[in-house]
Amino acid sequence: MDVAPEELPGLYSWVDGIPLSRPKRNIARDFSDGVLAAEVVAHYCPRLVDIHNYSAANSLAQKIYNWNTLNNKGFRRLNFSLTKEDVEAVANAENQMIERILKLLKYKSPKRTDSPERQEKDGMNESQKDIQLQELRETIEKELA
């Protein structure tokens, strides 16, 4: 999924609206270890990823490990996945790769339309409930197999 130049400001402002643990200076480099991408997923689907599974990394091997973990445990449940080539490209901070992934995340992530008070009261929104149901189905299927 390519990102047109006119889509970039909206994409960047969407990312800026998400509280991340590190400031963004060079988006390709800052997201290359997968930690901030996991935080984006966790912002919309807190039960989908465990942030403690992702550690800041400088080595390519650890970056690829983080991305593979996110790909297998998070993106799969959002109904998309990255190829091995995509994972290597984003880990190497290749031009426009993180923007493509962020665009996918933006459109595949459940929208946070509920107020924080309502989300806290309900515990989770409808999209999160759907994800939890899917996780329970997968668990049951594994136990029956």
CB 91 within 8 A of CB 82: no
User: Do 82 and 131 have their domain in common?
Assistant: no
47-56, 105-114, 121-130 — which one is most confidently predicted on average? 47-56
| Judgement on whether residues 122 and 81 belong to the same structural domain of the protein | no
Query: Do 92 and 130 belong together in one domain?
Result: no
pLDDT over 70 (residue 113): no
Q: What is the reported pLDDT for 118?
A: 43
Q: How many domains does the chain have?
A: 2
Task: Please give the model's pTM, rounded to 2 decimal places.
Answer: 0.74
- The domain in which residue 83 lies consists of 5-109
Question: Quick check: 7 pLDDT over 60?
Answer: yes
- Domain match, 102 and 143 both: no
Mean pLDDT over each residue of the chain, to the nearest integer: 86
Q: Check whether residue 34 and residue 86 sit in a common domain.
A: yes
Locate all alpha helices (DSSP H) within 2-125, ordered by sequence.
8-16, 27-31, 35-44, 60-73, 84-91, 97-108, 116-122
Q: Are 59 and 91 in a shared domain?
A: yes
pLDDT in tens, 89-108: 999 999 999 999 999 999 88
Local confidence band at 112 (pLDDT 50, 70, 90 cut-offs): low
Residues 54, 41 share a domain? yes
Confidence band for 120, pLDDT divided at 50, 70 and 90: very low
136 shares its domain with 69: no
Q: What is the pLDDT of residues 127-138, one digit of tens each?
A: 667 777 777 777
